[in-house]
């Protein structure tokens, strides 16, 4: 199997690298379109979606990423989910220049839980994603909120009934950061999609 690709334009990709390394999986950086040829799947990390969106355009990665996602698994966490969403909700002017890739049939609101002082950890139910009922201790940092899920996507984790992760085929988006905790079940579930 080819290595796990990490979109290393900006964000906490080193944390993702450590998580996959702990599972014995090598990773490879992706900053240029041709680097997508050498990876089996891709992680779009947490970071700032305004920055990621601009760098995806400046590096010419927008269309190559969409093509890659049509035939390979992609996981986005936090800002990564924002980039994977179909559309953004409730922001003006012009979503502060964030243009999502439209890979997952859901609508997302950036900073939907508030500012940094509102960041929190909570137990989420992720049975459909993990195949077990043990709650997942999830870290939400200036997290986005999933405000609508379309028919092409399925909710695979929820926090008190509110969706916090969605999946469509082998595309997976999470509002929280599995890379910031030691529980590696989500990375395992993602690798199972590969």
Catalytic residues: 78, 177, 179
Which range binds another protein by CB under 8 A, 61-69, 93-101, 144-152, 158-166? 93-101
Site track 1-30 with another protein (rule: CB under 8 A), x = hit = -------xxxxxxxx---------------
CA 76 to chain centroid, in Å, comes to 1
Q: How far apart are CA 109 and CA 78, in angstroms?
A: 11
Nearer to another protein, 93 or 151 (CB): 93
Q: Up-side HSE of residue 93: CA atoms within 13 Å toward CB?
A: 0
Q: Tell me which stretch binds another protein (CB under 8 A): 64-72, 114-122, 157-165, 167-175.
A: 114-122
Nearer to another protein, 7 or 69 (CB): 7
Contact indicator for 121, 139 with CB cutoff of 8 Å: yes
Of 4, 141, 157, 174, which lies in the binding site for another protein, with binding defined by CB under 8 A?
A: 141
Number of residues that bind another protein (CB under 8 A): 37
Beta-sheet strands, E only, within the chain: 4-7, 27-30, 41-44, 74-77, 85-88, 104-109, 120-124, 136-140, 145-149, 154-159, 162-168, 171-174
Instruction: Please report how close the Cβ of residue 122 comes to another protein at its closest, in angstroms.
Output: 11
User: Is 72 near another protein (CB under 8 A)?
Assistant: no
Q: Say which residue the tokens 């796990």 belong to.
A: 4
| CA distance to 19, 110, 124, 131, 163, per residue, from 128 (Å) | 21, 25, 12, 6, 12
Residue 158, class by beta-carbon neighbours within 10 Å (0-12 exposed, 13-18 middle, 19+ buried)? middle
Position among 3, 28, 35, 55 found at the interface with another protein (CB under 8 A): 55
Give the binding site for another protein (CB under 8 A).
8-15, 31, 46-48, 50-51, 54-55, 58-59, 78-79, 91, 96-98, 110-111, 115-117, 119-121, 139, 141-142, 177, 180
């Amino acid at each position: 199997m080819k290595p796990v690709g990490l979109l290393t334009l900006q964000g906490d990709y080193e944390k993702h690298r450590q998580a996959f390394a702990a599972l014995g999986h090598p990773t490879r950086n992706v900053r240029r379109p041709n680097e997508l040829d050498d990876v089996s799947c891709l992680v779009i990390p947490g970071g700032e979606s305004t920055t990621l969106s601009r760098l995806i355009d400046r590096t010419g990665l927008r269309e190559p990423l969409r093509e890659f996602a049509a035939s390979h698994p992609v996981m986005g966490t936090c800002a990564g989910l924002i980039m994977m969403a179909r559309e953004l909700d409730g922001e003006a002017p012009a979503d502060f220049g964030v243009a999502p890739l439209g890979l997952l049939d859901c609508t997302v609101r950036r900073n939907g839980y508030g500012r940094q002082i509102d960041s929190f950890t909570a137990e989420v139910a992720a049975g459909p994603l993990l195949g077990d009922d043990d709650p997942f201790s999830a870290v939400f940092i200036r997290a986005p909120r999933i405000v609508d899920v379309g028919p092409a996507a399925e909710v695979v984790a929820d926090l008190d009934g509110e969706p916090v992760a969605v999946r469509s085929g082998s595309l997976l988006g999470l509002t929280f950061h599995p890379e910031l905790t030691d529980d590696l079940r989500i990375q395992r579930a993602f690798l199972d999609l590969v």
